[in-house]
Amino acid sequence: MNAIAEIKAFSDELKAIRHDIHAHPEIGYDVHRTADLVAEKLQQWGIEVTRGVGKTGVVGTLKRGASNRAIGLRADMDALPMQEVNEFAHRSTVSGAMHACGHDGHTTMLLGAAHYLANSGDFDGTVQFFFQPAEEEGAGAQAMIDDGLFERFPVKAVFGVHNWPGIPAGHFGVKPGPIMASTSLFKIKLSGAGCHGAMPHLGRDPVFAAAQIVSLLQSILTRNKNPVEAAALSVTQIHAGEAQNVVPTDAWIGGTVRTFSDETLDLIESRMRAIVSATAFGLDCKSEVEFSRNYPPTINDPEQTAIAVEVMRELVGVDSVNSAIEPTMAAEDFSFMLRAKPGCYAFLGNGTGDHRSMGHGAGPCLLHNASYDFNDDLLPIGSSYFVRLAERFLRKS
């Protein structure tokens, strides 16, 4: 493993930064303290700082030489609205908030890269460091883009990385094309006419309609969608009624849809609306479908992914890079940046949780778990990956 020596020597400070961020989690766009810390560090290291991009995003700009080439490196800063169960020294000090997805580590890895590049980086061009709010909810990446991110801070390509429990610590996983799914939410509202449960013929039962719709929705995946196209449609909520002997007037169904292409998502939404409308009409109920498309699929550009794989293999060795990893149905708003610019999003193995110090919770060290903690051993690896990407992309002629 060839993590950069100077970054290894700086790892104790990186660890302290990561623990400080972990202890002070902030949610959504309210990442003011974290953004202050990021801006302060960048300014200390002589990097130009722009605040308030996409509400609370921070951009660091480092230019060297005369080339107009530029690369974007992105990290997310926000935490989750969860109560941490860990009791180690750097546990969350904020009730109901926790860095349970490793964004504290992502931010610190990018800071480590910025520190090295500001002092020692060998490149010709511009590195843009994108520190983003509201990845978990709120589409902070899109907010930064809407605020002129790529016009104000132009780049040819953009790269990001996410720690991934279950992959051996320090190993990389990546693939060209779709690597993470889109995420959409749906709510199906049904209204009929309430009546006594002993006299259902006097009413119009939305619960019965809901039951038929739940079953029929799965026909979209098995009878409408091309079998080779991956997708998930999960009904996660059914709400109706207040008494066991009353047929209610209203019912609603909620759930999520995940796909790797817009075409498959279009098909699912279209068929869902048709099934709901026809079924409700046939059972003499009224219906309404709310379908919210949140994040698009995360799709890696093949050319940029090939560059990233080269860097990974040089950094950790060929055997520690899975360049055809199985994609996940989880979603990520870095997808918005990849729709605007070519680039690559990769996974960096966080291990199985053996790295956690005394005082961690009893649960598994999984993302969005109350006993999760980022693996500090990854800090110099992730920082070195960002550095080598920048230097590879901005090689001197």
Q: Give per-residue pLDDT as tens, 127-158.
A: 999 999 999 999 999 999 999 999 999 999 99
Quickly count helices (H) and strands (E) in the chain: 11, 16
Helix 32-44 vs helix 11-23: crossing angle, to nearest 10: 160
What pLDDT is recorded for position 7? Answer: 97
Beta bridge partners of 246: 196
First to last CA, the chain: 27
To the nearest whole number, what is the mean pLDDT of the chain?
A: 97
- 344-374 confidence digits (pLDDT tens): 999 999 998 888 878 898 888 999 999 999 9
- 21-39 confidence digits (pLDDT tens): 999 999 999 999 999 999 9
What pLDDT is recorded for position 396? Answer: 82
Q: What is the mean pLDDT of residues 91-118?
A: 98
pLDDT over 90 (residue 169): yes
What pLDDT is recorded for position 52? Answer: 98
Confidence of residue 236 (pLDDT cuts 50, 70, 90): very high
pLDDT over 90 (residue 1): no
Rounded Cα distance between 320 and 131, Å, is 27
Confidence of residue 122 (pLDDT cuts 50, 70, 90): confident
Percent of the chain at pLDDT above 90? 95
- 212-228 confidence digits (pLDDT tens): 999 999 999 999 999 99
- Long-range contacts: 46-52, Cβ < 8 Å, 24+? 46/118, 47/114, 47/118, 47/129, 50/152, 50/153
CB 334 within 8 A of CB 149: no
What pLDDT is recorded for position 201? Answer: 97
Rounded Cα distance between 131 and 76, Å, is 6
Cβ partners under 8 Å of residue 75, min gap 6: 103, 106, 107, 109, 110, 129, 130, 131, 132, 160
What pLDDT is recorded for position 357? Answer: 78
Rounded Cα distance between 89 and 12, Å, is 16
Confidence of residue 2 (pLDDT cuts 50, 70, 90): confident
pLDDT over 80 (residue 397): no
What pLDDT is recorded for position 183? Answer: 98
CB 50 within 8 A of CB 325: no
- 179-205 confidence digits (pLDDT tens): 999 999 999 999 999 999 999 999 999
Confidence of residue 62 (pLDDT cuts 50, 70, 90): very high
CATH number for the segment(s) 183-295: 3.30.70.360
Confidence of residue 121 (pLDDT cuts 50, 70, 90): confident
The 10 Å CB-count burial string (b at 16+, else e) for 101-122 is bbbbbbbbbbbbbbbbbbeebe
Helix 379-393 vs helix 103-120: crossing angle, to nearest 10: 50
Fold of 5-180+297-393: Aminopeptidase (3.40.630)
What pLDDT is recorded for position 133? Answer: 98
Rounded Cα distance between 345 and 348, Å, is 10
Helix 103-120 vs helix 32-44: crossing angle, to nearest 10: 20
- Return the structure tokens found at 18: 């990561």
Q: Give the residue range(s) of CATH 3.30.70.360 domains in the chain.
A: 183-295
Confidence of residue 16 (pLDDT cuts 50, 70, 90): very high
Percent of the chain at pLDDT above 70? 100
Q: Give the residue range(s) of CATH 3.40.630.10 domains in the chain.
A: 5-180+297-393
Rounded Cα distance between 138 and 142, Å, is 9
